[in-house]
Structure 1
Amino acid sequence: MSSSALSTPAYRRFLIGSTITTHGLWILRLSLGWQAWQLTESEFFVAAVAFAAYFPVAVLGPVFGAYADRWDRRRAAQTFNVLNIGVTAGLFALSALGLMTPAALFLLALSFGVFSGGYTPMRLALMANLVPSMQLASAVGLGAVSFNVARVIGPVLGGYIIKFFGLAPAFAISTATFLGMAWVLWDLKLQPVARELERQIGLARLLRDGVSYTLRHPAIRYYLVLVLIGATFGRALFELMAPYADEVFQRGSDGMSLLISSFGVGAVAGGFWVARNKDLKQLRTSAAICVALAGLLIVAFGFTGNFWLAMLQLPFFGCALTICGVGSQTLTQAVVEEKYRGRVMSLWSVVAFGGVALGSAALGGWAQSIGLTTATVYWGGVAAVLGLATLLWMPRIPNPEVAGAS
């Protein structure tokens, strides 16, 4: 059997639908950030909207992760995807009618975060139902490539849509692309996966067992620390591209879309590297190195006052963060036992999305107080120190081995 997930028809269909939807997601993220900046011209409010969109995933992820080990994952993912379509349609309606306010934007971003809190653990756990275990690393890596190709194309499309047509059409197109995944999930054919979980076990017990398993597993603990640092420090900066584009570089929405796309070029390269990498030990080492490297690149970005120099730096930043984030997800998916997969991957989501939410809020508040570029330099310095600490910690972690492998 081929080790490439593309040889599995169900995964190919899932990847196509996911790619379409992810383009809409990046248009939506750019639109939310730009709408927040237009309404208030406040770094803190831009960060607050990002917090609203991400933090519910951290709060609700463990609950839905427990149910991902019990529910029909495809149907649950379909339900939450449809609810998010309703949110994006609401954003379009308010924007088109000229009724958008900061409060409405915040509440809709929060609603999107709540429904994403249900969708994300279902989608992550669903991966094991799409491909055989030997194709799992390929599936995660190709998913990252798809996500980051959309990170390149989506913001460029979004920037030009906003510039020439306005925010309402951007929200409308996001809504339309979300329908792609709804179509895919409608009758997706999944592989049967044995899940040794008693239906009568209560939610509290499911959550407790999942957290206990994670804390007892030294490798999974380490991978979660890697993604926590990358999300809190690296992704937090990424969420503040709107004030960077407009306030620091004086480039407006066009500049914002180009900065995000430049980051995405490097992220695509990082995703391809993870997808092709078969050596889990090498992947772990690379992910740890990239955490420290990302911190240094944040410092360099803070010192950069030139737009085109920033455009040259961001691909390296995107590559480093992707190897860290996608690498940690691949490693976690590889070593976790199947009966705990939904709960452990929900905890991964808690760390990844919660880190972005808390980090962007903290960096946005700090930037409001001492200035965006100064805050960025200090932020990157802390990230670099923490990244170095993870490198020193790594020799104590057992070598990664696929769960169930003999």
Structure 2
Amino acid sequence: MTPPRRPRPAGGSLRAFRHRKYLAFWSAALISNIGAWLSNLTVPFVIFQITESALLTGFATVAQFLPSFVLGPVAGWLADRYDRRKVLLFTQSGMAVTAIALWLLWSNGFHNIWALLALVGLQGIVQGLNMPAWQSFVHDLVPRSDLASAVALNSLQFNAARSIGPMIAGAIITVLGPAGSFGLNAVSYVAVLTVLFIIRADSSEERGQPTGNFLTAARYLLTQPGLVLSVVVAILVSSLINPVMQFTVVFAGSVFHVGAWPLGLMNGAVGIGALLVVPCVAGSAGFSRADIVRLGLLLMGIGMVGFAVSPNWIVASGALIILGAGFLASISATNTAIQLIVAEPFRGRVMAIRIMFYTLAYPVGALVMGAISDRVGPRPVVLGAAVIMLLAWALMAFRGRTYSLNHLDDPYDDSFDGPSAHSPVESR
């Protein structure tokens, strides 16, 4: 049985912006993530230009995201045990240092891909410690009544950066070369570090101490069907969709035979598609999270089919708009489900588990798809991924009660709340 649509909350999809701390953090994160996407596009671009290998290009993804899986237990514990703002100050500072090192390496003419991958891997280590605290920090800046809006807007700024960053990167690579792109990424960290120095949020003392260890959190997650489904969808999207979005580099170079500017526009199309579904995922349209994920999985499958058979980069960009809409719908709705269902003592570690599997699935999918692409070409690989996605959509959309996507709309688990449980105030 499909749950009834929820009434539209007062304030609409932008209501989290009423909280000044959240708005400041959101704005700084947008600037920082635009810079990150300059680097995220430039790294695979230069590796493919040097090697012409989709497999070696996929190694950049492994170096960047595999550390998040390995460090997940530590990162989740940090996010639950310590002041998340201080954790973010440490990790964002480390990421800024590695970004500066990447700029110095390339601008001084040292264009060795293994040195490049080593720096990307070092940044991935720091990013692995960063992500659970980053995503959990949103909960410390707004009351629970505005959390769905905050999570959706957080996904919006990430995908707005995905839209703007690659387009800027395409222009910068064309005019200034990769060094200019790497340099601007390093500068972009100033915004988020400045805001983190200024704002204050709920501390670990106000949240209470975490319950048990990392395995305790993992066992707890398995008792909550909504949390399990959120992780399963994240794995599916990360293993199939994220590598396809990286395949824009391969398609630009070996299929469409275009340069950096069309490549930037193709990547920007993903972000444009994400912008189109913001009212849906932010709660203003009244759709359930289960309905949003059903639609998102279907749109991603359709978008991948269109991308695989596109005759040129312009048509491919249209398909990527559809894919981007499905991507934001699925990822934002499942992320919101976790934030709204999970008991507070497990928040950081459950977010870490989701991030661990999401980040592990990405490089595994990228390596597998890259290796197959080097043998049979990129079009069959993307088309095959589309078929798997559509089959998964059919299975998850029409499955029985136990594994129904309707569990994504389960209520908050308050069974661990006590007198000192965290309850964000309504005014910041």
* CA deviation after TM superposition for structure 1 residue 206, in Å: 1.2
* CA deviation after TM superposition for structure 1 residue 349, in Å: 1.0
Residue equivalent to 1:400: 410
> Is 1:195 matched with 2:202?
no
Residue equivalent to 1:268: 275
Residue equivalent to 1:125: 136
> Is 1:13 matched with 2:24?
yes
Q: Deviations over 1:38-79 (max 9, x none)?
A: 221111111111121112112212321122110111111111
Q: Deviations over 1:323-376 (max 9, x none)?
A: 001111011101111111001111111122222221111111111121111111
Residue equivalent to 1:342: 348
* CA deviation after TM superposition for structure 1 residue 311, in Å: 1.5
Q: In structure 2, how many angstroms separate the alpha carbons of the residues matched to 1:288 and 1:229?
A: 13
Residue equivalent to 1:134: 145
User: Which structure: greater helix fraction?
Assistant: 1
Q: Deviations over 1:99-158 (max 9, x none)?
A: 120111111111111111011111111111111111111111111111111111111111
Structure 1 alignment gaps of length 5 or more: none
In structure 2, do the counterparts of structure 1 residues 379 and 191 end up closer, same or farther at CA, with 3 Å as the change threshold?
A: same
Q: In structure 2, how many angstroms separate the alpha carbons of the residues matched to 1:34 and 1:289?
A: 32
* CA deviation after TM superposition for structure 1 residue 393, in Å: 2.8
Show the 5 A alignment for 1:65-144: 65-144=76-155
Residue equivalent to 2:223: 216
> Is contact 2:299-2:325 (8 Å) kept?
no
Q: In structure 2, how many angstroms separate the alpha carbons of the residues matched to 1:386 and 1:403?
A: 28
Q: In structure 2, how many angstroms separate the alpha carbons of the residues matched to 1:29 and 1:143?
A: 19
Q: Deviations over 1:5-63 (max 9, x none)?
A: 11111101101111110110111111111121122111111111112111211221232
Q: In structure 2, how many angstroms separate the alpha carbons of the residues matched to 1:28 and 1:90?
A: 12
> Is contact 2:78-2:87 (8 Å) kept?
no
> Is contact 1:268-1:319 (8 Å) kept?
yes
* CA deviation after TM superposition for structure 1 residue 292, in Å: 3.5
Q: In structure 1, how many angstroms separate the alpha carbons of the residues matched to 2:294 and 2:411?
A: 17
> Is contact 1:68-1:343 (8 Å) kept?
yes
Give the alignment partner of residue 254 of structure 2, picking from 222, 235, 247: 247
* CA deviation after TM superposition for structure 1 residue 192, in Å: 5.4
Percent identity, aligned pairs only, is: 23
Task: Kindly provide the amino acid, as one letter, of the partner of residue 124 in structure 1.
Answer: Q
In structure 2, do the counterparts of structure 1 residues 94 and 312 end up closer, same or farther at CA, with 3 Å as the change threshold?
A: same
Residue equivalent to 2:291: 285
Q: In structure 1, how many angstroms separate the alpha carbons of the residues matched to 2:52 and 2:363?
A: 19
Task: Kindly provide the amino acid, as one letter, of the partner of residue 400 in structure 1.
Answer: D
Residue equivalent to 2:393: 387
Structure 2 alignment gaps of length 5 or more: 1-9, 418-428
Residue equivalent to 1:169: 180
Q: In structure 2, how many angstroms separate the alpha carbons of the residues matched to 1:64 and 1:92?
A: 27
Q: Deviations over 1:240-277 (max 9, x none)?
A: 21111111111111121010011110012223421134
TM-score (norm 1): 0.94
Task: Kindly provide the amino acid, as one letter, of the partner of residue 412 in structure 2.
Answer: V
RMSD: 1.9
Number of residue-to-residue matches in the alignment: 400
Residue equivalent to 2:166: 155
In structure 2, do the counterparts of structure 1 residues 310 and 125 end up closer, same or farther at CA, with 3 Å as the change threshold?
A: same
Q: In structure 2, how many angstroms separate the alpha carbons of the residues matched to 1:112 and 1:272?
A: 33
**Deviates further, 138-147 or 266-275:** 266-275
Show the 5 A alignment for 1:236-385: 236-277=243-284, 279=286, 282-385=288-391
Q: In structure 1, how many angstroms separate the alpha carbons of the residues matched to 2:135 and 2:384?
A: 33
Q: In structure 2, how many angstroms separate the alpha carbons of the residues matched to 1:303 and 1:394?
A: 34
Q: In structure 1, how many angstroms separate the alpha carbons of the residues matched to 2:277 and 2:56?
A: 31
Residue equivalent to 2:239: 232
Q: In structure 2, how many angstroms separate the alpha carbons of the residues matched to 1:2 and 1:290?
A: 25
* CA deviation after TM superposition for structure 1 residue 222, in Å: 0.8
Give the alignment partner of residue 47 of structure 1, picking from 47, 55, 58: 58
Q: In structure 2, how many angstroms separate the alpha carbons of the residues matched to 1:276 and 1:222?
A: 20
> Is contact 2:302-2:323 (8 Å) kept?
no
Task: Kindly provide the amino acid, as one letter, of the partner of residue 173 in structure 2.
Answer: I
TM-score (norm 2): 0.89
* CA deviation after TM superposition for structure 1 residue 394, in Å: 6.3
In structure 2, do the counterparts of structure 1 residues 104 and 271 end up closer, same or farther at CA, with 3 Å as the change threshold?
A: farther
> Is contact 1:39-1:101 (8 Å) kept?
no
**Deviates further, 236-245 or 392-401:** 392-401
> Is contact 1:233-1:295 (8 Å) kept?
no
Task: Kindly provide the amino acid, as one letter, of the partner of residue 231 in structure 1.
Answer: S
Task: Kindly provide the amino acid, as one letter, of the partner of residue 103 in structure 1.
Answer: W
Q: In structure 2, how many angstroms separate the alpha carbons of the residues matched to 1:247 and 1:165?
A: 23
Q: In structure 1, how many angstroms separate the alpha carbons of the residues matched to 2:220 and 2:179?
A: 45
> Is contact 1:248-1:305 (8 Å) kept?
no
